Amino acid sequence: MKTFWLAAILAIAPSLAVAQAPRCPAPAAVPSKSDLPHLLMTSQDRGFLWKVTKDGHTSWLYGTVHASREEWLMPGPLIRSAILQSQAVALELNLQDPQTLAALRKPEEPANREKLIASGRKKKLDALADELCIPTAGFATTSIGLEAAGLTASAARADGYYPDYAVDFVLQGMAGSLKKEVIALEDVQTQRNLLISPKLSEENAFIDETIKQISSGEARKDEDQLIAMWGRSDLTRLNQYKQWCKCERTPREKRQTFHMIDERNVAMAQKILTPHDSGKSLFVAVGSLHMAGPQGLPALLKKDGFDVQQILPAPPAKTSL
């Protein structure tokens, strides 16, 4: 499930979705300008949205997914309204920044890369890429860890879920068209270290687990489950993710989950506080698992004195006695 927590893979995703044979899923379609009015009129609110208020002004928290369907491309009316009311859009990373993209795409240290190739891991990933109809040329100059994450993100293309339609990308595009400031909540090295650990043993373990999950079909099943949950705004299921994510079965997985979710949440909450406390209204959009449970961003901001109001899904109506 590591890929669910990474925005970094999206930096190369659009170059990957190419159909190569009849068995391959169709490439992601780019909507024409004439398609956009229809997509806008038929758009529905999906995902998870909170209104957070402190010191007299409001910001928003929105839980996203890093792959989606073409028909879900446009945000629904609640999401669009929240963006319009905000002065800035805060994302995990600013993926339109050339320096950020260059840092994400940078290969491992030569010695580590040679060992990954000699071990056969690169060859196994390339074979999986062929099975998934992903051209390996797109990974020729990137890290092997990034290839592993990119393949996992593309595992559910056969079910209509494409990284090309990532919610984060769409929101960043909207921010640009609306002339909104884009704020990166994390530095690029933090995200890179999740993919390409400075310790070769950790990158080996990540790649081995990725190969296992894709080969078994588990990666596709997990991604299907998460995106479908997001599509129906199933907050109960989201808050129970540790019960079904298969991400805390071993001490190593528990440590990994802590670093990828809880630890990053604390840092992101602090990055949200600074501009909000200065009077700026933010639309914060990060992966949905960062919103889950008592260590999620809504809970952390509530502890920091915010009034937190659930917007999507709509909370149950209060009954009067």
Q: Which pLDDT tens digit goes with each residue over 130-139?
A: 999 999 888 8
Q: What are the sequence ranges of the domains in the chain?
A: 2-17+43-312
For a pLDDT cut of 70, what percent of the chain falls above it?
A: 92
Q: Is the pLDDT of residue 319 over 70?
A: no
pTM above 0.75, yes or no: yes
Order of all β-strands in the sheet with 48-54: 181-184, 88-91, 282-287, 57-64, 48-54, 307-312
User: 63: alpha, beta or left, given left = phi > 0 and alpha = psi -120 to 50?
Assistant: beta
Going by C-beta distance under 8 Å and a sequence separation of 6 or more, which residues neighbour residue 66? 3, 4, 6, 7, 9, 10, 153, 163, 166, 167, 168, 287
Rounded CA-CA distance 139/118 in Å is: 17
Q: Which pLDDT tens digit goes with each residue over 162-209?
A: 998 999 989 999 999 999 999 999 998 888 887 787 788 888 988 999
Q: Which pLDDT tens digit goes with each residue over 254-276?
A: 888 888 899 999 999 999 999 99
Peptide bond into 313 cis (omega under 30): yes
When pLDDT is cut at 50, 70 and 90, the band that residue 320 belongs to is low
